[in-house]
A and B are shown apart, each in its own frame.
Chain A
Amino acid sequence: MNYLRQLRAVLWKDLVVELRTRERTISMAGFTVLVAFLFNHALDPARVDVQDVAAGLLWMTIVFAGTLGIGRTFQLESEDGAFHGVLMSPTPKDAIYLGKVGANFVILLLVTLLALAVFGLFFHLQYGERPLVLLLVMALGILGFVAFATLFSAISSGTVMGDTLLPILLFPLLVPMVIYGVSATDRLLAGRPVAEIAGHLRMLAAFALVAVFSGAGLFRFVVEE
């Protein structure tokens, strides 16, 4: 019970701090709207069927927006050594990690909803009769993404290269998520039956599980001196 209480405390703290600073949310949301606007003007609908590329654009926007925001997870923590105080508490390191992953997941899920809205608006996407299935695909994908991004953000924040290092470490690991996420989203946008993406959902769930468990296991080695 205490473990969950500690996990919830970290999650609550991260969300409250984000709610008050809005630092990461604004940059991610701004980036998402800007990218959707630029793609809308860059793609000529007479030559490109936007339905064919929408899924890829959507996922790449979320990945880049997420990297922009989640990459700053530990920068706010360094203010006045606050995170050092957390690490010196008896809270298990994996509870700290899972709390931060939970908060980052909520933040990125909100950005994803915004991305779905603006892409739907600009590209006239029809999310069909199964928006909840689409949301499940996105949620599983971003859970895996957030789990790896939070871990590597902890690594990169302690280095001189910082923001440059994060995508170099992170992007190669995202290949399965992008492949299965884009493919499942593309099929759903095309109105294909849910049964057709059952395998994709399983792969995305497996990716998320591997990311969360490996992140929880490795986090202590990253943050311990």
Chain B
Amino acid sequence: MTRSAIGDPDSPSETAPGRVPALEATGLVRNFGPVTAVDDVSFTLDEGDFLTVFGPNGAGKTTLLGMLGGGLRPTSGDVWIRGTRIGVRSGDWRHRVGVLSHQSFLYGHLTCAENLWFFGRLYGLEDLETRVPDRLEGVGLRVRADAPVRSLSRGMRQRLALARTLLHDPEVVLLDEPYTGLDAHAADVLRGVLSSLKDGRRTVVLVTHNLGQGLELAERIFVQVRGRIVFDRPRGEIDAASFERRYREVVEGAAGFALADASPKAR
């Protein structure tokens, strides 16, 4: 995981020589009034990397993800996707990003297929006749293609939201607490789909406060507390038990309070 050669923020690195990282954050800060939700976060991810960001509630994880996906404007700092600075140029970089949020971003009064068709058109996709059934098949919802989204369970809706996120085959996938509210079966299905994202082509950032789910697929681990990244380690360098211990130390130390049980088995 290398830093890119980006220097001048007005000269996107796609014009610079050398390797262009899939996703790069440089000095990201986001303030909400007097509160600093994200405080000077910088990192670089290459193609195929899978980063999990842990942190307690209110750590700024969702805010960080919002800025990485272009949904939230940083107070200062920049996000670069394949060398294109978010927000500076046209929306072309949006083709490269898929975001799965707390919310499904789906229309409850449209059917599953209609939602994918709609978003497919917004992304300018041409092969929706084959792509929509394929994506529905991929998340196990092909038989519910004509069901209105509002009739789906929370788990089904989350799977459809994942299909929408991946519909345009994004290079960078941003996942915000994707397991929230899912039962064990739905979580297993979702885990299978997320595993398939580790295909070496996609760069994934997963945000969660659940250690067990977050560690399963991670290749690199961040811990964010009070907006700052206070822990950054490749997954291979630390086992789950050690990480849990370190997590508690790091978070309690940085936040100044004792954590509740954060067992890796907790779902």
Interface of A toward B, CB cutoff 8 Å: 2, 5-6, 8-10, 12-13, 16-17, 20-21, 79-82, 84-92, 224-225
With A16-B114, A225-B72 already in contact, the answer to whether A91 and B109 are too (CB < 8 A) is no
Q: B101 — which chain A residues lie within 8 A by C-beta?
A: 81, 84
Chain B residues within 8 Å of chain A by Cβ, number:
32
Whether B70 sits at the interface, judged by CB under 8 Å, is: yes
CB of B202 to closest CB in A, whole Å: 17
Identify 9 new A-B residue pairs, CB closer than 8 A, beyond the known A81-B103, A87-B71: A2-B124, A13-B107, A20-B148, A80-B104, A81-B102, A88-B70, A90-B90, A90-B124, A225-B73
Question: Please, how many angstroms separate the alpha-carbon atoms of A10 and B110 in the complex?
Answer: 13
Contact of A88 among B71, B102, B104 (CB under 8 A): B71
Binary contact track B87-101/A, C-beta < 8 Å → 1, others 0: 000111011010101
Binary contact track B114-158/A, C-beta < 8 Å → 1, others 0: 100011011110000000000000000000000010000000010
Q: Which residue of B lies closest to A91 (CB)?
A: B122
Contact B124 A5 (CB under 8 A): yes
Q: Which residue of B lies closest to A6 (CB)?
A: B122
Q: Which residue of A lies closest to B95 (CB)?
A: A90
Binary contact track B19-32/A, C-beta < 8 Å → 1, others 0: 00000000000000
With A2-B124, A81-B105 already in contact, the answer to whether A9 and B118 are too (CB < 8 A) is yes
The A interface, classified by DSSP as helix, strand, loop or mixed, is helix
CB of B174 to closest CB in A, whole Å: 10
Question: Please, how many angstroms separate the alpha-carbon atoms of A89 and B119 in the complex?
Answer: 8
Contact B121 A5 (CB under 8 A): yes
Whether B106 sits at the interface, judged by CB under 8 Å, is: yes
Question: Please, how many angstroms separate the alpha-carbon atoms of A12 and B120 in the complex?
Answer: 13
CB of B261 to closest CB in A, whole Å: 31
Top 9 A-B residue pairs of the complex, sorted by shortest distance between their CB atoms: A85-B105, A81-B103, A9-B121, A90-B91, A89-B122, A90-B94, A20-B109, A91-B122, A2-B124
Between A and B, 13 residue pairs with Cβ closer than 8 Å are A5-B121, A9-B118, A16-B110, A17-B110, A20-B109, A80-B105, A82-B107, A88-B69, A89-B94, A89-B123, A90-B95, A90-B122, A90-B124
Whether B77 sits at the interface, judged by CB under 8 Å, is: no
Whether B82 sits at the interface, judged by CB under 8 Å, is: no
Q: Which residue of B lies closest to A3 (CB)?
A: B124
Q: A10 — which chain B residues lie within 8 A by C-beta?
A: 122
Q: B107 — which chain A residues lie within 8 A by C-beta?
A: 13, 17, 79, 82
